[in-house]
A and B are shown apart, each in its own frame.
Chain A
Amino acid sequence: MKRAASTSDPLWFKDAIIYELHVRSFQDSNADGIGDFPGLLSRLDYLRDLGVTCLWLLPFFPSPLRDDGYDIANYVDVNPSYGTLNDFKLFLDAAHQRGMQVLIELVVNHTSDQHPWFQAARRAPSGSTERDFYVWSPDNQRYKEARIIFSDTEKSNWTWDEVAGAYYWHRFFSHQPDLNYDNPAVMEEVLKAMRFWLDLGVDALRMDAIPYIYEREGTNCENLPETHVAIKRFRAAIDEGYSNRIILAEANQWPTDVRPYFGDGDECHMAFHFPLMPRIYMALRQEDRMPIIDIMAQTPTIPDGCQWALFLRNHDELTLEMVSSDERDYMYYSYSADPRMRVNVGIRRRLAPLLDNNRGRIELLNSLLFSFPGTPILYYGDEIGMGDNIYLGDRNGVRTPMQWTSDRNAGFSRAVPARLYAPVIMDPIWGYQAINVEAQLSDQSSLLHWTCNMIALRKLFHVFGRGTLEFLSPANRKVLAYIRHYDAPDGHSETVLCCANLSRFAQPVELDLAHLAGRVPVEMLGYVPFPPITDKPYPLSLAPYSFFWLELQPGPEAPRPSALPQQNEATEIIMRPLKPSNEVAENPPST
């Protein structure tokens, strides 16, 4: 019998609002300067009130933390800094009680070099099962077509291990050796780890770096056919033993190369739409919808039971791998004037600093995030417009403590400030004194309230998570207009016209909505009816960076002809009170 999930809807992920957070960064409960599970549990009510429905936790497993936890030393335990396994269980239950699902990482491609598997492998004889948990070579000349992903720090995908007397393969940091999936034992161990967490009740698994799990000579070692065989095994194991659990693929590839990760509905349930994200920023800066239209045109349809995961920012750099070199340069010029803001092939800034803290831009991009086809993912702190610290190494500048209050340590921890795992943001614009949850909760006009309201609005409609997408092509390219439509199984349908002004100046636009003539657009935030649609171009005026969500409701029915004689306007209708039947009339009629 399959283990039940916390939700009974197999497509819960299509309507989800995912919130990505790092346990370490969210709330410290024991004043050691590091966030932990008890602290996170104490903040679940905030997350519930925000309206998010699924929490994505960055890796919290035992780790030397040389890659912020993605270098795993033990797949089936909790880093003691974050608490115990029991703390995790308590958190998981509490989240479920509040109607939230939990998504955790399954870092399938590599481990830490401190993992017992690697420590055994480097000492094991060549050709042994233990040795073959990883990919070894006597030289560093194999797989030369494979690119280096962490180009800022690594010069090769091979590193010499003195103990092993051989080179080992790693697509990421040199302290993260790649697992060898050609060894069946590896798959078995990873499946064990996967089942461990699913047995506890975890709702979803994010398969980190899934395109890189196989290597073959003469290829770029990405998206190989064997990868999909492996994913099918993961999926089959989940479907066999669990209900309503999902796999989210992290495949930073072109849309057509991501499509295979959905399989025929027998691989991953969800996958990130990486190429869309930088193009949203490009379209905004260029004030031209074409980058978005272009990438969506290249996005293939996916199986009905699958879903794209959409995001504006995350814990990593704003990746620019899936853009052309000119587009990459443009993005660097546009969003990272200071070279310190760049790392690898991307930009390590948070949402608000990227947009120069412009509230209009922030709301506009969030409106796209919430209305595009897919499941939106919010990065922790972006709901209050948190800033970043580009002077911290690697991607740590976007992983600073959550800013809860204007008190010491932003209310994140009672520890001595110097003990925090990272300094809080403290500049005049984005510092915790100015940007914090407490202040924004008491400010009805805050970004936090706006985000809450938008999430709540989105959750009223299934169309955003489950509907189709049709782009309109108005002459004004600074306006992005599209229609979302959903036919529900119960017969009702939802149609929403979304219109976004990508420009910093007001824009006019005329939309061809003739095929929807007769419908009445109703602005969804204020429930204000707009003029009915006719067969003529529908004019709209958009303020700078503004957007409309207009629900296209059926027009009013024409009144049916009345059976009663028509009364002219001069006729008075005199209402006389009814007399009781036993009352004697004052002037009874004479007989």
Chain B
Amino acid sequence: MTPTSSDVDTRQPTPDATAPAPEPTPLTGDLLICLTPLPPEDLEATLKNLAGAFPEQQTAGNGNSNILVAIPDAAPASSPDSVLSTAAPDSSPLRLLHYSSSSTALFLTAADYLNAFKMAQEHNARACILLGPESQTLNPGFVRDLAAALLGSSAADLILPHYRLGPNNGLVNSAILYPVTRALYRQCPRFPQAIDVGLSLRMAERLAMAAQPFTAAGQNDAILWPVAEAASANWPVAEIDAGPRGLPQPASTDLNALLSETAGSFFSDIEARASIWQRVRFYQPGCATPETPFSTGTLPDVSPMLEAFRVAYTNLQEIWSLVLPPQTLLGLKHLSLMPPAGFRMNDELWTRIVYDFILAYRLRTINRGHLLGALTPLYLAWVASHILLTGAGAAPEQHIEDLAATFERDKAYLVSRWRWPDRFNP
């Protein structure tokens, strides 16, 4: 941490040169905003956006600033300080912190949450905002609204953004993370594994405690699940409109690896919290979802996805038959015979597939790596079906909402099979 000039109290006598240098007074503030490692130009853009989001001076009574911006030490020498001073000199309420991070993950990681809480605690912040990769694409107004919501009198402990993405973006979230989280925890955030989050201090502490076992084992990039944590603590969760956002692109295009990593972490978390979500029985009324205008553009080519599914249907029958019940296998058979133009995976079929894979993950029916690999072609089939459905005129968000409602309705199936895993079922 590098103290800034404003932290040095000139009223104090000059310290004795032979005595050890006193510890710099830590910065304090109401809000801590943590940024993940960004390329220089993106960092510069982000800081300008933040400066624009918080232009007014809002000093606390002791003269310290109230918004701390933590940037990774990996920030280049073309100093962000100079950016801030240019965009908003002393009048800006933003003050910079540096911390160590070399994360390149797409999501916020265990190390991110742990670092955020440590800094928040150290600097007496009341709340944290973590902004993930590509944060320069965020609407500054969203960050301001997020901050206001966190610091407001009736703040939720966890606030998640509702991004306005294209109809074919974030489909892992649409197909699996959102509907399952909604069904299991009765929580409606559209993006439960958001790239950006707002946390109360106690929420940040809870996530830091959840992160510690991972970081202690060297798994700094482990994925945490904030919604599940908040639900476990029975703390309120809220969601605010974030507008459009650029999504970070993975370094590798290996969908299998990406899906395995995400789904594996998600399913493990579900297994760990079985006693929580199985007691959540009643569902909220349908969550209000603003209709998101989108540009359809050209439909992606689904042929490779359909081909991947059909090849898998031939080659993965043995694995699927260990995981999926007869009725589902029959549904997949019908699917494999559908012509491309009419390819539709109904919501009930996908719901059962996801629930049975969650169960198989828990039961270790087969090696977990193989299991998650066997999920990928089924996911591609769902994606192809979703694309074709929306291409035919169906509203994408409505389809996702219908899907989520199906997951809710069928939760009893997961609970009953979880409690009685006998595979002699329909």
Contacts and interface: CB of A to CB of B under 8 A. Distances in A.
Contacts of B420: 504-505
A337 interface: yes
Interface string B405-426: 0000000000010001011111
Interface centre among A326, A355, A358, A504 (most CB of B within 10 A): A504
Interface stretch (A151-159, A328-336, A508-516, A521-529): A328-336
B327 interface: yes
Nearest to B416: A505
A356 B421 CA distance: 13
A330 B425 contact: no
B327 A504 contact: no
B424 A356 contact: yes
Contacts of A356: 422-424
A147 B244 CA distance: 63
Contacts of B423: 356
Interface in A287-344: 287-288, 326, 329-330, 333-334, 337
A285 B330 contact: no
Contacts of A285: 326, 424-426
A442 to B, nearest CB: 29
A96 interface: no
Interface size class of B (residues with CB under 8 A): 10 to 19
Interface size class of A (residues with CB under 8 A): 10 to 19
B327 A330 contact: yes
B326 A330 contact: yes
Interface centre among B416, B423, B425 (most CB of A within 10 A): B425
Interface in A480-510: 504-505
A245 interface: no
A424 to B, nearest CB: 27
Contacts of A334: 326
Interface in B286-342: 321-322, 325-327, 329-330, 333
Contacts of B424: 285, 355-356, 358, 361, 504
A326 B425 contact: no
B416 A286 contact: no
Interface string A351-362: 000011010010
Contacts of B325: 333
Contacts of B422: 356, 504
Contacts of A326: 330
Contacts of A504: 420, 422, 424-425
Interface centre among A326, A329, A334 (most CB of B within 10 A): A334
Given A286-B426, A326-B330, A333 B416 contact: no
A505 B413 CA distance: 12
A545 B241 CA distance: 51
Contacts of B321: 333, 337
Nearest to A545: B424
A329 B416 contact: no
Interface centre among B325, B327, B424 (most CB of A within 10 A): B424
Nearest to B329: A333
B416 A330 contact: no
Contacts of A361: 424
Contacts of A337: 321-322
A358 B330 CA distance: 24
B426 A333 contact: no
A329 B420 CA distance: 25
A394 B189 CA distance: 57
A337 B425 CA distance: 14
A287 B333 contact: no
Interface in B219-236: none
Interface in A218-251: none
A355 B422 CA distance: 11
A287 B330 CA distance: 16
A287 B424 CA distance: 10
A186 to B, nearest CB: 45
A333 B325 CA distance: 8
A534 B325 CA distance: 41
Nearest to A361: B424
A329 B327 CA distance: 9
A504 B327 CA distance: 16
A329 B330 contact: yes
A317 to B, nearest CB: 18
B201 to A, nearest CB: 45
B425 A333 contact: no
B413 to A, nearest CB: 12
Interface string B378-417: 0000000000000000000000000000000000000010
Contacts of B329: 329, 333
18 contacts: A285-B326, A285-B426, A287-B426, A288-B426, A329-B329, A330-B326, A330-B327, A333-B329, A333-B330, A334-B326, A337-B321, A337-B322, A356-B422, A358-B424, A504-B420, A504-B422, A505-B416, A505-B420
Given A330-B327, A337-B322, 20 more contacts: A285-B326, A285-B424, A285-B426, A287-B425, A287-B426, A288-B426, A326-B330, A329-B329, A330-B326, A330-B330, A333-B325, A333-B329, A337-B321, A356-B423, A358-B424, A361-B424, A504-B420, A504-B422, A505-B416, A505-B420
Interface of A: 285-288, 326, 329-330, 333-334, 337, 355-356, 358, 361, 504-505
- Complex A-B, nearest 7 residue pairs according to Cβ-Cβ distance, in ascending order: A333-B326, A334-B326, A333-B329, A286-B426, A337-B321, A330-B326, A330-B330
